Amino acid sequence: MKLKLAIAFALAAMSAQAAEQPWMDKSLSADQRAELALKAMTQQEKLRWVMGHFGSDRDQHKKHPAALPFSAGYIEGVPRLGLPALFETDAGLGVATQASKTPRERTSLPSGLATTATWDRALAYKGGAMIGSEARASGFNVMLAGGVNLLREPRNGRNFEYAGEDPLLAGSMVAEQVKGIQSNNVIATMKHYAVNDQETGRFVVDVRLDDASNRMSDLLAFQFLMEQADPGSVMCSYNRLNGVYACENDYLLNQVLKKDWGYKGYVMTDWGAAHSTVEAANAGLDQQSAWEFDKSAYFGGALEEAVTNGHVSQARFDNMVFRVLRAMFANGVVDHPVAEGGKIDYAANSVVSRIDAEEGMVLLKNANSVLPLKAGAKKIVIIGAHADVGVLAGGGSSLVYPIGGNAVPGIAPTSWPGPVVYHPSSPLKAIQARAPGASVSFNDGKDPVAAAKAAADADVVLVFAQQWVGEALDAVSLSLPDNQDAVISAVAKANPKTVVVLETSGPVLMPWVEQAAGILQAWYPGSAGGEAIARVLFGEVNPSGHLPATFPASESQLPRPKLDGDPKNETVRFTVNYHEGAAVGYKWFDLKGLKPLFPFGHGLSYTQFAYSGLKSSQKDGKLSLSFKVTNTGAVKGKDVPQLYVAPLNAKWEAPKRLAGWDKVELAPGESKEVSVTVDPRLLGVFDSKSKTWRIAKGGYKVLLAHDAADAKATSITVQLPQRTLNVNGK
């Protein structure tokens, strides 16, 4: 009887809520719910959703009292209507904290480039799911993660946050991360939209890129991401594109994103990227982030007045709010409120990070099978990069403060875009644990002579080399800083059994490439990086990472041998002309016939793989390719077979494009059939006038390759009919 009464009361309460707050009805669509909630709001309540507050003190402004401490941002909710506030955190590698003496210590994934180097979609998803869960447990329901700016400029200080130079690879890998994050009922953020490809002068630079080239390169990466993952929000970037700031750029926001691609979420500014009220609102900006960074609270009272005066229509204003609400309903932010203090399984999350790091490490060179390290080595010498205590992280807003603190505190810059942080995962200790019988010693690598002396009689020498860059700070050159080239060279001369382990944001030059026996690209390897490096070096993990970016042989090979802009003067507007258009990375190298140091897609294994039986089929206008991969070596391993398409007659921006790949695990002697369907946009050229993708009739060579410069790639020729596809490739 009691139970019946309780149920009756509960049902009555629910139907009362349904009558009063119909947007809480989960059976309705996100669109319907957002529409209903919007209708119930006063103009003042609506205004809350379009203007964000910083989660930390800034200049004379104190942090919003309700924001989580040292967080990126906060948007007031409407509790009266059951609509929660938005708590924003950076970003792509995990839960970051703004500058603070008491930061949240959380799990850091390896860099975005490392995750991309896995070429493993499932791993990218798992990493996203892990950091999203830590975000939720920390009280955040918006994660500013989903960075997909193309690696057009290898010196870009934020390349480590992104996903490399190819639009298909970058868009697909970050899409998985975004899906993983959003699986926690946390909104993710596709950023920095768009063509924000260098940090030097990011607030004043005007980048020039024509529409067709953009749609086939930078924008295509965003388009793939959006289609595959449907991120709740998009962050517009600092730079201008073709003369207009990205956050008030009608072409980028209204035309491309919302109209052509049909994006349904909301657009927020980057922190300090708002420049106007009326222009921005009418150009498609929906939310001003952390207004304290801008010259004015553009989307506060000024917007209210603009709506009253009709400079911004009520319909447009309502749509701004609607988009935020819709993203909240669509991603479960309303139905699953967040709270601080959730439980985090750091041990389990560290394993997720470690596996990601291991799978993303790229074995660049392995002469005479110097790796994996042999059991029985008596003397191992480790040199440089504080490898005795930790592994390097990149700088800026994405920095995840390590659990257990910075392994090497005090290195300049100690403030923005610092601090320089090392995750306390010691490569030395992890190596020692795997070589119990050996003497393992450390030399700091500061002096080439001392390092060479320490290395001379070792069975194997592991030189750790590093390059610290970060947000707002491009690499001044692609050369390793601090005399490290001289150290590596001296050590390799003293002992030919030298293996170099690189902890860099992205590509670097290697004047010692011929001297070093082995080279392992470890990127910024995250919370468990030391352990991950040791496991790869000792062969507990067979390396399977492949480069998501071309490593040039010299800066003179780049479209811009010198970086544009002046890092010492960031106030004067200047232009960067992306004259290479859509020929980014390997496409540029192909086009110009340049031989890189290591090509896009390159990555060795402790085993070998062979390909056979490449064939094609076409159904409903879709090109599919299938083939067989065989492990021809003696150990288990994972391979990344890559398919490139090269037109025989049609004119593309470059000789070939990546059209697909897979990652397959194979035991020795084992074979697997792989099949890949090609997105038709990758077979056509964008026509700006008609906003269509045009595939030219004719022959196309399909290459099945180990990397973008594989001279032994097998190939077939396919005939494609003429086709015209809409702006979304349909």
Residues forming the site for ligand BGC (CB under 6 A): 72, 90-91, 144, 191, 270-271, 397
CB 241 within 8 A of CB 218: no
Alpha-carbon distance of 712 to 715, in angstroms, equals 9
Task: For ligand BGC, give the closer residue by CB, 190 or 659.
Answer: 190
How far are the Cα atoms of 243, 337, 570 from residue 216, in angstroms, in the given order?
20, 39, 30
From the list 639, 589, 586, the residue with the least C-alpha distance to 610 is: 639
CB 352 within 8 A of CB 93: no
Query: Shortest distance, CB of residue 410 to ligand BGC, whole angstroms?
Result: 24
Query: Shortest distance, CB of residue 72 to ligand BGC, whole angstroms?
Result: 4
**DSSP class of 83:** B
Query: Shortest distance, CB of residue 173 to ligand BGC, whole angstroms?
Result: 18
How far are the Cα atoms of 68, 183, 192 from residue 135, in angstroms, in the given order?
12, 12, 20
Task: For ligand BGC, give the closer residue by CB, 58 or 316.
Answer: 58
Is 206 tagged catalytic?
no
Task: For ligand BGC, give the closer residue by CB, 271 or 401.
Answer: 271
Backbone phi and psi for residue 283, each to the nearest 5 degrees, phi listed first: -85, -10
Query: Shortest distance, CB of residue 233 to ligand BGC, whole angstroms?
Result: 11
Residue with tokens 């899409």: 175
Task: For ligand BGC, give the closer residue by CB, 107 or 269.
Answer: 269
Query: Shortest distance, CB of residue 91 to ligand BGC, whole angstroms?
Result: 5
Query: Shortest distance, CB of residue 235 to ligand BGC, whole angstroms?
Result: 7
Residue with tokens 């390169």: 217
Catalytic entry in 90, 197, 230, 270:
270
Residue 671 buriedness (CB in 10 A; 0-12 / 13-18 / 19+) = middle
Beta strands in 110-259 (DSSP E): 142-143, 187-193, 205-208, 233-236, 240-241, 244-245
Task: For ligand BGC, give the closer residue by CB, 270 or 279.
Answer: 270
Backbone phi and psi for residue 144, each to the nearest 5 degrees, phi listed first: -80, 45
Task: For ligand BGC, give the closer residue by CB, 271 or 524.
Answer: 271
CB 635 within 8 A of CB 667: no
Alpha-carbon distance of 521 to 505, in angstroms, equals 10
Task: For ligand BGC, give the closer residue by CB, 222 or 693.
Answer: 222
Query: Shortest distance, CB of residue 120 to ligand BGC, whole angstroms?
Result: 25
Count helices and strands in the chain by DSSP H and E runs: 18, 31
Query: Shortest distance, CB of residue 525 to ligand BGC, whole angstroms?
Result: 21
Alpha-carbon distance of 528 to 531, in angstroms, equals 6
Task: For ligand BGC, give the closer residue by CB, 90 or 279.
Answer: 90
Task: Collapse the DSSP code of 305 into the 3-class scheme (helix H, G, I; strand E, B; otherwise coil) and give the result.
Answer: helix
User: Which residue stretches of 145-210 are H helix?
Assistant: 167-182
From the list 448, 361, 453, the residue with the least C-alpha distance to 111 is: 361
CB 676 within 8 A of CB 626: yes
Neighbour tally for 571: CB within 10 Å: 8
Q: What positions carry a catalytic annotation?
A: 270
